[in-house]
């Protein structure tokens, strides 16, 4: 049985520890791998990003081909009735995408919640940075870069915040993905080396996943 609470450090934007925060172990203290749920969540996320814009022309959509290319007999070549034939160069495609394909993949809510809890628990062990307040007075990308340096996070970063100024300050920084608390995906957490989240935001995530 996991402990009822998981203790994590809370730092300020200067990187100094200010206190400890107790989080629900049923959300941030899962020890099981739950690999299938996590795998399904990533597959669903990536599949649902596909826009299904690929389109090829079938033989009735290819221009030309109204006239028989050459006479039926006497040429020594195989019979041909139209240059639109799929076996001709420039002809229509037989089984190509038609623009109506549906790549949607579903995962039930309980399985998705389990997958998200699993990857969040992994980040608690390595890569979670909880900041006491993630709200900036003004929009400044330069200041946000300095904040990340003070927090000693680099590489791929997932920043979870509901503050608009913080979002605008960080959204153009290379390798930084910014998400509100209601739009954090399993893929986002897995793809990031560090998860930087405000204290208020992590409590909101906790309440949503209980």
Residue extents of the structural domains in the chain? 5-47+107-209, 51-102
pLDDT tens digit sequence for 146-160: 999 999 999 999 999
Query: Could you give the CA distance from residue 78 to residue 91 in angstroms, rounded to a whole number?
Result: 16
Average pLDDT of the segment spanning 50-68: 91
Give residues with Cβ within 8 angstroms of 101, minimum separation 6.
52, 54
pLDDT category at 1 given cuts 50, 70, 90 is very low
Residue 119 — left, alpha, or beta (φ > 0 → left; ψ -120 to 50 → alpha)? alpha
Q: What phi and psi, each to the nearest 5 degrees, are found at residue 86? A: -60, -20
Do the beta carbons of residue 141 and residue 172 sit within 8 Å? yes
Res 64 pLDDT > 90: no
Closest listed residue to residue 122, CA positions, set 44, 47, 48, 37: 37
What's the confidence (pLDDT) of residue 210? 86
Res 85 pLDDT > 70: yes
| Number of Cβ within a 10 Å radius of residue 166 | 21
What DSSP element (H or E) covers 133?
none
Query: Could you give the CA distance from residue 186 to residue 41 in angstroms, rounded to a whole number?
Result: 6
Do the beta carbons of residue 175 and residue 146 sit within 8 Å? no
What's the confidence (pLDDT) of residue 197? 97
Query: Could you give the CA distance from residue 141 to residue 163 in angstroms, rounded to a whole number?
Result: 14
Q: What phi and psi, each to the nearest 5 degrees, are found at residue 167? A: -60, -50
pLDDT category at 44 given cuts 50, 70, 90 is very high
Query: Could you give the CA distance from residue 149 to residue 154 in angstroms, rounded to a whole number?
Result: 7
pLDDT category at 3 given cuts 50, 70, 90 is low
Mean pLDDT across the chain, nearest whole number?
Answer: 94
Average pLDDT of the segment spanning 180-187: 96
| Number of Cβ within a 10 Å radius of residue 16 | 9
pLDDT tens digit sequence for 109-142: 999 999 999 999 999 999 999 999 988 889 999 9
What's the confidence (pLDDT) of residue 2? 45
What's the confidence (pLDDT) of residue 74? 95
Beta bridge partners of 19: 10
Q: What phi and psi, each to the nearest 5 degrees, are found at residue 164? A: -65, -40
Do the beta carbons of residue 40 and residue 115 sit within 8 Å? yes
Give the whole-number percent of the chain exceeding pLDDT 90.
91
Query: Could you give the CA distance from residue 63 to residue 7 in angstroms, rounded to a whole number?
Result: 68
Q: Which fold has domain 5-47+107-209?
A: Ribosomal Protein L4; Chain: A; (3.40.1370)
What's the confidence (pLDDT) of residue 135? 82
Res 181 pLDDT > 90: yes
């Amino acid at each position: 049985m996991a402990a009822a609470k998981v203790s994590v450090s809370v730092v300020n934007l200067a990187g100094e520890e200010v206190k400890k925060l107790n989080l629900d172990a049923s959300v941030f203290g899962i020890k099981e791998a739950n690999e299938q749920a996590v795998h399904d969540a990533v597959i669903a996320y990536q599949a649902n990003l596909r826009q299904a814009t690929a389109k090829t022309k079938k033989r009735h959509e290819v221009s030309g081909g109204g006239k028989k290319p050459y006479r039926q007999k006497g040429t020594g070549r195989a019979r041909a009735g139209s240059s639109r034939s799929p076996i001709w160069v420039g002809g229509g495609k037989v089984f190509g995408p038609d623009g109506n394909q549906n790549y949607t993949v579903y995962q039930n809510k309980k399985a998705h919640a389990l997958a998200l809890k699993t990857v969040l628990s992994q980040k608690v062990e390595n890569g979670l940075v909880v900041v006491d307040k993630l709200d900036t007075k003004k929009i400044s990308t330069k200041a946000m870069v300095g904040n990340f340096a003070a927090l000693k996070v680099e590489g791929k970063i997932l920043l979870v915040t509901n503050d608009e100024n913080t979002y605008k300050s960080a959204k153009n920084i290379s390798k930084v993905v910014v998400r509100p608390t209601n739009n954090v995906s399993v893929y986002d957490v897995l793809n990031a080396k560090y998860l930087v989240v405000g204290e208020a935001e992590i409590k909101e995530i906790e309440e949503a996943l209980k």
